[in-house]
Structure 1
Amino acid sequence: MKILVAEDDARLRRNIVYILKKEYHHVAEAENGQDALDHTHTEIFDLVILDWMMPKLSGIEVCQQLRNAGFNGSILMLTARDDTDDIIKGLDSGADDYIVKPFKMEELLARVRALLRRKDKVIEQVIQIDHLQLHVDSRVFLYNNKVIDLTKNEFLLLEYLFMNKGRILTREQICIYIWGYDYDVSNNSLDALVKLVRKKIDDGQSKSHIQNIRGIGYKLRDNECFRQREKN
């Protein structure tokens, strides 16, 4: 799958690109409307994410030009405008959906999945590690085929770890995914959340599924770690 992210806020753009790269094969980025349009001339994208207000060309102008040129992929608009007339203008310009800033990354990912499903794209819906199973669409988590009750943030933590199984995630990346890019929570809040999740998925085992990487963040142990543990 190919996704283009056009956003002039560098920090927000980097966060969106990082998270999408963990789910999809290819993500390109642009810092203004003209660069976004140029990208679409050389590559075919399944989804284009456009910030409404960008230098050179606005998201609305890029959207209109793409549709006029016959682009049939999905278009998601990022906007700080929540006025009904503005939203209608964005949809009338050819956007398939919109999301109002500030937003949480979980909401963005949900919109992306929905748009790509409409295009009949295949997304991994069930992720299994050892005896743990996470169902992305239905937001259900199973331990030995038994449903485990999770709060919204507990599920988001596991979802992000599962999507990046075996990879080290920094505290900042995890916090952005759970609480949004403008999050205002302490490290203690994340540690407390991890502790609660461990109690629900570790079942008293000596080695937790969620590994603490000192000074960096956390990672989910992969299948090989559990196979080695069972042999020892």
Structure 2
Amino acid sequence: MNSIEGIKIMLVDDEPHILQFLELGLTNEGYVVKTALDGMSAVTLAQDFQPHIAILDVMMPGMDGFEVCRMIKKSGAQTSIIMLTAKDEVEDRVKGLTIGADDYVIKPFSFEELLARIHARLRNQFPNMFNEVTYGPFKLDDRKKEFVYHGRILELSPTEYELLKFLVMNNGIVMSKGMILDRVWGYDFQGEENIVEVYIRSLRDKLNDKEHQVIRTIRGSGYRVDFP
């Protein structure tokens, strides 16, 4: 990832120890961080702070994270929103995505996973803030919609490009088929989950990943990109 100087992140959670932990970690990473303990404070803070990323806990007393998300998006802000949820339920994911959330993280989560999600949102929503980005053997230039792998430009369809980008930018994290469908095909996709398998197979062919060492299948869970 290129320089993150000046990138602002707003954290919203009613649990002070979570806020403290995340604030310390993200500040050490170089982000400018501000926090709020409740929904109303978050809405006011978002107007004044204008964060690039807002990380919102769903379950808060009074105004919950969904309502905060709705109000931030309604204001026209360019803030990218990541929801924190303790429930791995399709209804919660769909509700969040429908009202404008850009991603979600299921509690409990690792700090490294959250960082990967933040990096992915910044690359997707604010591509002009960064030049070409390197992830292991991959080089990604989102402005050109171009992937280079071990010095070789990959010939990818638009869907293959988006799928590989999602997996690479979340490298080391297992992505379920449902999560991939939400992010790459859209939450309203009406097709079969096996479309993911078809595209994974095609990507492996183009990466010459015959042993599935780059895009790994995690049985019963999904797929994970590793950098050998």
Name the structure 1 match of 2:55. 49
The answer as to whether partners of 1:79 and 1:99 remain within 8 angstroms in 2 is yes
5 Å matches for 1:181-220? none
Runs of 4+ in 1 over 4 A off after TM superposition: none
Name the structure 1 match of 2:9. 3
Give the secondary structure class of the aligned counterpart of 1:3: strand
- Give the alignment partner of residue 113 of structure 1, picking from 109, 116, 119: 119
**1:122 Cα deviation from its structure 2 partner:** 3.3
Name the structure 1 match of 2:106. 100
Q: Does 1:30 find its partner at 2:20?
A: no
* Structure 1 length-normalised TM: 0.52
Name the structure 1 match of 2:97. 91
Give the secondary structure class of the aligned counterpart of 1:22: helix
For residues 130 and 57 of structure 2, the distance between their equivalents in structure 1, rounded to whole angstroms, comes to 26
* Structure 2 length-normalised TM: 0.53
C-alpha distance after superposition, 1:44-87 (max 9, x if no partner): 11011000011231000000011111122200000001110111
The answer as to whether partners of 1:2 and 1:24 remain within 8 angstroms in 2 is no
Name the structure 2 match of 1:200. none
**1:9 Cα deviation from its structure 2 partner:** 1.4
Name the structure 1 match of 2:66. 60
- Give the alignment partner of residue 15 of structure 1, picking from 5, 10, 21: 21
Partner AA of 2:130 in structure 1: V
Name the structure 2 match of 1:122. 130
Partner AA of 2:29 in structure 1: E
Partner AA of 1:122 in structure 2: F
For residues 30 and 41 of structure 2, the distance between their equivalents in structure 1, rounded to whole angstroms, comes to 21
Partner AA of 1:35 in structure 2: S
C-alpha distance after superposition, 1:181-228 (max 9, x if no partner): xxxxxxxxxxxxxxxxxxxxxxxxxxxxxxxxxxxxxxxxxxxxxxxx
Q: Unpaired segments of 5 or more residues in structure 2?
A: 1-6, 139-171, 173-228
**1:11 Cα deviation from its structure 2 partner:** 1.1
Percentage of identical aligned residues: 37
- Give the alignment partner of residue 136 of structure 2, picking from 121, 135, 138: 138
**1:138 Cα deviation from its structure 2 partner:** 2.3
CA RMSD across the alignment: 2.2
In structure 2, the CA distance between the partners of 1:124 and 1:102, relative to structure 1 (3 Å rule), is: farther
In structure 2, the CA distance between the partners of 1:12 and 1:139, relative to structure 1 (3 Å rule), is: farther
Name the structure 1 match of 2:223. none
